[in-house]
Structure 1
């Protein structure tokens, strides 16, 4: 995981150079980031704990069907991925930092699979909202592959954001409301524990 941190520092320098060519102006109060990294229950529990994150919604993106249901997405016929849409304050936590957490908190080398969850809806994917996010995601991915940060090549897709459909109410705040359930204890809790260990300084009090 040290290689991921090294890549992050490299990106900071690279993007500082790129920023010179960007028109000056104040950063927006909030921005959005959309990530697919397996089951959105796990992803939601991770990003909700970060300083500077004001909202996290579980939902569906990347498919061809409007307003899909959970059952339809799980069938694998709609083309959607389970994702979280993260609203964050760039003055508190940067998109680069969110990417670092994205890479570390799931396995980006397994195609359409995270642990026991298998299917295209569980694919690793980044939906970028602007050209800067696109550049950061592509550069970060390339550097991680170049430095062999993972045993296998990264298969994470990087695609433009087109639409996002909020998942059913019972999917929202799932870990907070269902922490005693077996899936939460066996799958989500270990990820939360890892987050608290690796990113302690980035967590809300």
Structure 2
């Protein structure tokens, strides 16, 4: 068990508290597996979507791709149109852990790579996202994980002590980024491991 007292717990959202999978609507829109995989590798790529998380407007993002792939207009626009299907459900056990931490009176905030407009939708779909003390949304500030600056901004905005902060994220690079900011950080894989990681930092549920 760590001898460091954890005073602040920071949750990522996607694939930690809520499921995210862009393939969900596209299995219907592009049924062929090979074609769909090609589409995500070459058209609506991870890097393209990440720029919306950095704050790029969807209309601009779509226009860029349509100029390059004019034969794919409907599929390109479908990415935003059917985004709500991509966040198909909450991870109930993870949410229960977060709720238990809040109920204990622990300081819980969230730090997420998210486009501003889709995050507003997510809050309506998943009301528990309003339970923590607050959230830093990448697209609202023009910074994304794992950039050091976003951790530093979250630290300042929420008056965190980095040495007493524990971050939970599914992404290895984002965990490394948090540690570079002086935080403790664990990589989320499943709720049971999260409970174990919390216990290792002196937080028993």
TM-score (norm 2): 0.29
Q: Relative to total residues, which structure has the larger helix share, 1 or 2? A: 2
TM-score (norm 1): 0.29
